[in-house]
Structure 1
Amino acid sequence: MNEPDALALTPRLREAGCVFAEEEAALFLDAAHDPRELELMVRRRIAGEAPEHIVGWAEFCGLRIAVAPGVFIPRQRTAALVDQTVRLCRADSVVVDMCCGSGALARVIADRVPGARLHAADIDVSAVACARENLAGIGDVYEGDLVDALPPGLCGHVDVMVANVPYVPRDELRLMPAEAREHEAAVTHDGGADGLDVFRRLADAAPEWLAPGGSILSEIGAGQVDAACAALGSAGLLGVTLYDDERETTVVIGTWPR
């Protein structure tokens, strides 16, 4: 498989609506072990699966993150959330990656903050399996619903809780790209009526788990800032929001002052 193979694949992918057809052809050519596997990959892509699910990994913040079919693929915009999380971490910080999906955020934090004590949790069994692969020897991964998944010993000792919560309003799920809507678990996107159902639950629970001066961070939509800050305030957290112009991403931070 060589350059002529890529030239043959690119038109097929482009006709199927793949915007980055040349890049995807090169990706599949590099990942496939033989022509039969390559053809299967191309057919899966034409059928609507994301390239990351097909090859089994996603590039995120310079690292290769394992992602199984159905597991949320880390978005490049979420690097803004990672940057803000790292800014709050020390070498000995207790960090929880909540709604962790593949564990991508925790994996990058481990790379950037050596010595951080990492934990991750998700309600989806497939995501937990991926996170355990990505965080093997790096951090502990738990399966369960938000803080219910965490061991009691972490209560009151979490310095930083980062949560890439689902924040798409339910009525807007139908507007998402098909590869996300049809090939990622609905629980990873559905944020309820206004998109903040999960965020509110986590904000309410966070003070019990945060250490004094600890923070909770999440990515939200630009139109959700006021409601998110109100949720943090109701939980006794001091809320601020930051907007990353380059990635067009809004990050909300709540700090436990006591």
Structure 2
Amino acid sequence: MVASTSDIVATLRAAGCVFAEDEARLLTDAAGDADQLADMVARRAAGLPLEHVLGWASFCGLRIAVDPGVFVPRRRTELLAWQALKLAEPGAVVVDLCCGSGAVAAAVAATVPDAELYAADVDPAAVRCARRNVPSGHVYEGDLYAPLPAALRGRVDVLIANAPYVPTRAIDLMPPEARLHEPRVALDGGADGLDVLRRVIDGAREWLAPGGHLLVETSEAQAPVLLGAAGFAGLRPRLARDTGLTATIVIARAPQTTRTPS
């Protein structure tokens, strides 16, 4: 028997899905038949992220493939993408670190003509996903800058990083969808949440072209620390915010002159 829309909505609402009506519509549209729909509803009601059930997430008007176990791109990260798109001119060299599913890199590929696009992530599952989402780019597996081609040093116009920034102690307070179904390496930023972002900032000068920009997502509370770190690293930082998305971005520009070797 085919479940009615009202039955699906009731099942999802009972499972705690806030936007049950919208989710019911998406699941119904995605299902190939009644059996598949029943299975998808059951998996969602059991707590699997909607994007993992559907197999995709909406991001900057694109459908981004998201495999089970891969970090789901957040709506607030669209601010990171929009700011990067403002700075990336045609033909720009763009690097997306901690790329996850490749959502930001995909937005760049879809918008910036002739972009020379590179991405990297330490999670093999994320790398496989990103390679599907960004077939025109080069996606590497490894820790931050380590897997990037050495020839990129001093050539990167826009360097993007949506690195983990949740403090370790706060992981257990996250919604079960994230805590149980996304890789911890994509969430845990260390004691104060900034371990990985500090490393991103520390290494940025070596990779940025003169006048190039580093963009990192963070929280409002953490932003002052990163502004200071960027200034200490010889970059000129500023903030971008979107209250509707509850998003905060640190944007740091490299000097116009090439760094003098020590």
Letter in 1 for 2:123: D
CA distance in structure 2 between the partners assigned to 1:144 and 1:241 by the alignment: 28
CA distance in structure 2 between the partners assigned to 1:11 and 1:244 by the alignment: 34
SS of residue paired to 2:91: coil
Q: Name the residue aligned to 2:70.
A: 71
**Per-residue deviation, 1:5:** 2.4
Q: Name the residue aligned to 2:246.
A: 248
**Per-residue deviation, 1:110:** 1.5
Q: Name the residue aligned to 2:215.
A: 217
**Per-residue deviation, 1:79:** 1.0
CA distance in structure 2 between the partners assigned to 1:188 and 1:172 by the alignment: 14
**Per-residue deviation, 1:179:** 0.2
CA distance in structure 1 between the partners assigned to 2:147 and 2:5 by the alignment: 45
Letter in 2 for 1:152: A
**Per-residue deviation, 1:197:** 0.5
* CA deviation profile, 1:128-155 (whole Å, cap 9, x unmatched): 000000011x211000000001011111
**Does 1:61 find its partner at 2:60?**
yes
**Per-residue deviation, 1:23:** 1.3
**Does 1:107 find its partner at 2:106?**
yes
Q: Identity over the aligned pairs, expressed in percent?
A: 53
SS of residue paired to 2:40: helix
**Per-residue deviation, 1:234:** 2.1
Letter in 2 for 1:231: A
Q: Name the residue aligned to 1:118.
A: 117
Q: Name the residue aligned to 1:164.
A: 162
Unaligned runs of 5+ in 1: none
Normalising by structure 2, report the TM-score: 0.95
SS of residue paired to 1:156: coil
The residue correspondences of 1:1-258 to structure 2 (distance < 5 A) are 5-136=4-135, 138-257=136-255, 258=257
CA distance in structure 1 between the partners assigned to 2:18 and 2:49 by the alignment: 12
SS of residue paired to 2:146: helix
CA distance in structure 2 between the partners assigned to 1:155 and 1:185 by the alignment: 29
SS of residue paired to 1:13: helix
Q: Which 4+ residue blocks in structure 1 deviate beyond 4 angstroms?
A: none
SS of residue paired to 2:100: coil
CA distance in structure 2 between the partners assigned to 1:248 and 1:31 by the alignment: 29
**Per-residue deviation, 1:246:** 2.3
**Per-residue deviation, 1:244:** 1.4
SS of residue paired to 1:97: strand
**What is the RMSD of the two structures over their aligned residues, measured on CA atoms?**
1.3
Letter in 1 for 2:24: A
CA distance in structure 2 between the partners assigned to 1:6 and 1:59 by the alignment: 22
CA distance in structure 1 between the partners assigned to 2:239 and 2:28 by the alignment: 42
Letter in 1 for 2:90: A
**Per-residue deviation, 1:217:** 0.3
Unaligned runs of 5+ in 2: 258-262
Letter in 2 for 1:9: I
